Amino acid sequence: MKLEPECIGCFFNQILKAFELLQPELSREIVITAQKKLMKYLLTFDINENAIPTLGKVTYNIIAELLGNDDPYHDLKIENNRLILKYYDEIISVIEKSEDPLFEAILAAALGNTIDFASQHDIEIISDLQKFSIEDLVINDYVEFKKSLNSAKELLIIGDNAGEIVFDKILIITIKKYYPDLEIIYSVRAAPIINDATIEDAKFISLTDLVKVIESNAAPGILVSQTSKEFNKYFFKEKQVILSKGQGNFESLYDIELPKKDAYYLLKAKCNLMERVFGVKIGDLIFKKKTQGF
C-alpha cells in the first residue's frame, strides 16, 4: 500500500508514543530530534514506489538509534508473551467448550491483535474472549476460509506481534484438529522491529516445536524485495492459503496480486486509513478474503 495522507501525522505520533512507553523521562529535544529525522527522510521518500511498512521500518530505526538500543521493545515482548501464556490453558478451555472451536480460535487470534499491552489488559483477556461472538467480526469471511482450507495442502500464517503469537499458536493447534493433513508454516520478522514477533518469540512459546517457523524481513510488514529466499519459496507457492495477521501485513499485501491462491486478512482497524479502506469504524475486527486489487 502506498503512503496515504492519513499516515504522515500517524508516524510522527508513533515516535512520541514510543518514547513515552519505552523511556518516558527523555527530554523533548530528543523526541523532536527523532521527528525531525523522520521529516528529513520524508523529503526523499518516493510516495509512488515505497510501501507504508518501509516508512515504519525507518521510523523504528530512528527510535532505536536515539535510544542506543537495537531492540528497545525486547523486555516488553517477553512480558507480553508471558502474560498470554499465563492464560494459555484457560483460553484453550474457552475455545474447546464453544459451539464452533475453530471460529472461536479465530476470534481469539483477532483478540490478540486488539489488546493494548501497554495498558496491562491481562485481567480482561478471558472475559473478553467469552463475550466475543460472530457479530464482533464486522467483516466476516469465515465460511470462505473453511472452503479454502478444504482444498488446500498448505497454510502460511504471516504473524504480527509478540504476545499475539500465543493466540496464533492456539489457532494452529485448533486448525490441526480439523485439518490434520494441512501443512502449516508460520512466518516471523527476520530481526527486531517494534514489538513484532521474531524467531526468539516463536522459540519462547515453543511454536517452533509445533510447526515450521520461517523469517520474512526486518520490517513491520512484508516487503517482497527484502524477504528471505525461504519466505519467498512459501509465499509464492500456488494452491496455498495465506492468513495475514495485523495492519502492517495488510498494508504490505494490499497492492500485491496473489494468483492461484487464497489469502485472508485478520486484523483490527486501528486508524482512519483502515476506516476508509474497509468502510468500518476504528476498533472493528476484520476477517476478509483478499480480492483483486485489495
pLDDT in the model for residue 263: 96
* Per-residue model confidence as pLDDT tens digits over 9-52: 999 999 999 999 999 999 999 999 999 999 999 999 888 877 88
Please tell me what DSSP assigns to residue 220. Answer: S
> Which amino acid is residue 89, in one-letter code?
D
Q: Which three cell numbers stand for residue 118?
A: 501497554
Rounded Cα–Cα distance for residues 144 and 159 (Å) = 21
H helices present in the chain, as ranges: 5-22, 28-42, 52-67, 74-85, 88-97, 101-112, 125-131, 142-150, 164-178, 199-204, 229-235, 247-253, 272-278
pLDDT in the model for residue 120: 40
Say which CATH architecture domain 75-289 belongs to. 3-Layer(aba) Sandwich (3.40)
pLDDT in the model for residue 129: 82
Q: What is the mean pLDDT of the chain?
A: 91
What share of the chain has pLDDT > 70, as a percent?
A: 97
Q: pTM score, two decimals?
A: 0.94
Rounded Cα–Cα distance for residues 64 and 129 (Å) = 34
* Per-residue model confidence as pLDDT tens digits over 218-236: 999 999 989 999 999 999 9
| Neighbouring-strand partners of residue 243 | 157, 264
Domain boundaries, the chain: 5-67, 75-289
pLDDT in the model for residue 121: 42
pLDDT at 249 over 90: yes
pLDDT at 203 over 50: yes
Three-state SS at 62: helix
pLDDT in the model for residue 135: 80
Place of cell 516471523: 188
